[in-house]
Amino acid sequence: MKNALRLIAVVILLQSFILPAAVLAQDTKQAEVYAAIRKEGMDNSKIMNTMHYFSDVYGPRLTGSPNYVNAAKWGAREMMSWGFDKSELEPWEFGHPGWVHERATGLMLSPQADTLTFEVLAWTPSTKGIVTSDAVSIAIPTTPAAGNPTVQQMPTQEELTAYFDSIKTQVNGKIVFVGKPTFVDQSRDPAPKRRSDEEVKKQFDPTNTTPGGPGGQGRGAGSGAGVTPKPGALNPLQISEQLDKFLLDNNVLVRINESQLDRGAVRAFNNRTFDITKVVPTVVMRNEDFGRIYRLLAHKTAVKLEFDLRSRIVPDGVTSYNMIGEIWGSDKKDEVIMLGGHLDSWHSATGATDNAVGCATMMEAARILKAIGVKPRRTIRVACWGGEEQGLLGSQAYVKKHFGTAENPTPEFGKFNGYFNIDSGTGRLRGLSIFGPPEAATVLRDALAPFSDLGFGGVASARGRGLGGTDSTSFNAAGLPGIGASQDPIEYFNVTWHTNLDTYERIIESDAKTSAIIFAAAVYTLAMRDEMLPRFKATEMPALPTPVATPAPTPAATPKP
């Protein structure tokens, strides 16, 4: 008995030395890897070269277009040149033909000669050669709500039909301006480009229980004073469908919408039907040109315009692709950590901040680990998605095929260890939000604490399975740990988001490098841990949100969180 007690005492004594030494060795190893990540990410970054190819060479990258496919092929080849073990383009069905904008000119011929600034609405037809006509201005009639005159209510069917009948002869064979110019308040202060460290730390403080904080129940802003619904009023979708048909039936040469932005910015999305036979040639014109012509017409000054719009349909675009690259793991190879962003963009610019920089950043994070000789235990998989701008289509298709859902999982579901996503412009990474229990946020919060000097503020856990905003929510909706990025805003939502100003020049190289370094450390953490990232247990999985049976806006018009 005494010998047994002595043996136990010796074991305890040895453990008191060995365990701290093991922890110290582990911490030392992590510190060495983190130092190597920082050095590689700052001294040998490939981000701006990747940016050049994605934005300058191949941008814009509209889903279904040859530009998108060629950009994805280049990215796959580039990852292989960095020593990745595998890269491929994985197809998914877009269901619509592609569309390519080739050239567009628009001129004011009188009362003064001028070149107009605009962008063509995607999936709308070409003009029939060069078309010239007088300009006409129309606006759907609305009426002030009785309880709140600032709220304008839509017309009834009878009112809309009467209005269309009254303007038929005016619009026939003409170039038509639809709507009124947006008032831009020039007295407003510009939005801040950076967030303070204090604000970021408060947001990601796990003890913060204020509304909107990690521990609070955030609420959206109120919609203002309620009004009594107008009996029989049409909804915006019904009006839009009837307006499209009216303009088509009355041989309108070109439809002109207004950008609703200032400083010459133009944001052009797509014909919601993706069918060029259901709409007339359509452009979105900058506020400044639209307002000038609107005022001329309002003062009874005739305006003559000329347009030449050329585009084409790409039948092969019905199939699109996600670009995938892998660095294979060792003893846990069948377990996967993913990181990525969306590669597709809108067509008005070259898609630099939305979201070539996101793909370049995540490709770089994985490249850093490969370059410094990390041998990951788990497989690291980079994904650059297609179809995000049309409703997260590429990432949804991928998640459905590979993982299923918590309610109907595939065999790969249980081997998934988190997806990191970035998609809000060039601003540096300031924090992460992970779908999962608080323990999941703790793992990453502790691992990334050494990067507070780079402005990283922390990690919060989230429970929402709502789909929308960006590709990490495709994973959340399936019950998987999607990890979204919070970034410095710079001029993303108010300047570059989906506009003709989204170009290479808007990228802040130091911010992109910083983000890649932090993501590389995060991926390293999950790739090397003994345990998988904590997840919601089946009995604790949040329920899917109840579908809302109301007309939804175009997915691309929904800002990312």
Specify the residue for token string 């660095």: 327
Q: What is the pTM of this model?
A: 0.91
Residue % of the chain over a pLDDT of 90: 86
The answer, yes or no, to whether residue 471 has pLDDT greater than 60, is: yes
88: β partners: 324
Query: For 318-347, what is the mean pLDDT?
Result: 98
Say if residues 208 and 441 touch (Cβ distance below 8 Å). no
What is the DSSP secondary structure assignment for residue 309, as one 8-state letter? E
341: β partners: 384
Report how far residue 95's alpha carbon sits from residue 92's, in angstroms, rounded to the nearest whole number.
9
The mean of the pLDDT values for the chain is 92
Of the ranges 21-25, 62-66, 459-463, which one carries the lowest mean pLDDT score?
A: 21-25
Which of 336, 155, 166 has its CA nearest to residue 233?
155
The tokens of 32 are what? Answer: 């060495």
pLDDT, tens digit (0-9, with 9 covering 90-100), for 154-196: 999 999 999 999 999 999 999 999 999 999 998 988 889 999 9
Q: What pLDDT score was predicted for residue 147?
A: 81
Cα–Cα distances in Å, from 158 out to 151, 241, 366?
21, 16, 60
| Distance between start and end Cα atoms, the chain | 65
Residue % of the chain over a pLDDT of 70: 90
Report how far residue 132's alpha carbon sits from residue 253's, in angstroms, rounded to the nearest whole number.
8
Neighbours of 126 (CB within 10 A): 17
Binned at pLDDT 50, 70 and 90, residue 237 comes out as very high
Q: What pLDDT score was predicted for residue 549?
A: 53
What is the DSSP secondary structure assignment for residue 499, as one 8-state letter? B
Give the DSSP H or E segment for 283: strand 282-285
Q: What pLDDT score was predicted for residue 361?
A: 98
The tokens of 360 are what? Answer: 């370049």
* DSSP states of 67-106: HHHHHHHHHHHHHHHTT-SEEEEEEEE--S-EEEEEEEEE
Report how far residue 203's alpha carbon sits from residue 157's, in angstroms, rounded to the nearest whole number.
47
Which of 172, 136, 163 has its CA nearest to residue 251?
172
Does the bond joining 111 to the residue before it have cis omega, within 30 degrees of 0? yes
Say if residues 63 and 386 touch (Cβ distance below 8 Å). yes
Q: What pLDDT score was predicted for residue 440?
A: 98
pLDDT, tens digit (0-9, with 9 covering 90-100), for 343-375: 999 999 999 999 999 999 999 999 999 999 999
pLDDT, tens digit (0-9, with 9 covering 90-100), for 416-450: 999 999 999 999 999 999 999 999 999 999 999 99
Say if residues 323 and 40 touch (Cβ distance below 8 Å). no
The answer, yes or no, to whether residue 22 has pLDDT greater than 60, is: no
In degrees and rounded to multiples of 5, residue 544 shows phi and psi of -65, 145
Cα–Cα distances in Å, from 56 out to 49, 71, 334, 365?
10, 11, 37, 22
How would you write 5-26 as a 3-class SS string? HHHHHHHHHHHHHHHHHHHHHH
The answer, yes or no, to whether residue 11 has pLDDT greater than 70, is: no
- State the burial class of residue 544 (Cβ atoms within 10 Å of its Cβ: 0-12, 13-18, 19+): middle
- State the burial class of residue 218 (Cβ atoms within 10 Å of its Cβ: 0-12, 13-18, 19+): exposed
Which of 132, 141, 145 has its CA nearest to residue 161?
141
Report how far residue 342's alpha carbon sits from residue 384's, in angstroms, rounded to the nearest whole number.
5
Query: For 456-476, what is the mean pLDDT?
Result: 96
What is the DSSP secondary structure assignment for residue 189, as one 8-state letter? P
Q: What pLDDT score was predicted for residue 536?
A: 96
Amino acid at 277: T
404: β partners: 409
The tokens of 71 are what? Answer: 């950009």
Binned at pLDDT 50, 70 and 90, residue 210 comes out as low
pLDDT, tens digit (0-9, with 9 covering 90-100), for 74-129: 999 999 999 999 999 999 999 999 999 999 999 999 999 999 999 999 999 999 99
Report how far residue 475's alpha carbon sits from residue 466's, in angstroms, rounded to the nearest whole number.
10
Cα–Cα distances in Å, from 67 out to 76, 325, 327, 503?
14, 19, 26, 16
Which of 107, 118, 9, 39 has its CA nearest to residue 371?
39
pLDDT, tens digit (0-9, with 9 covering 90-100), for 244-288: 999 999 999 999 999 999 999 999 999 999 999 999 999 999 999
Q: What pLDDT score was predicted for residue 530?
A: 97
Determine the 3-state secondary structure of 120 from DSSP: strand
> CB under 8 Å to 440, separation ≥6 — which residues?
434, 461, 481, 533, 534, 535
CA angle 182, 187, 190 (to 5 degrees): 90
Q: What is the b/e burial string over 244-281, where b = at least 16 CB atoms within 10 angstroms of the residue's CB? A: bebbeebebbbbbbbbbbbeebbbbbbbeebebebbbb
Specify the residue for token string 């610019």: 349
Amino acid at 231: P
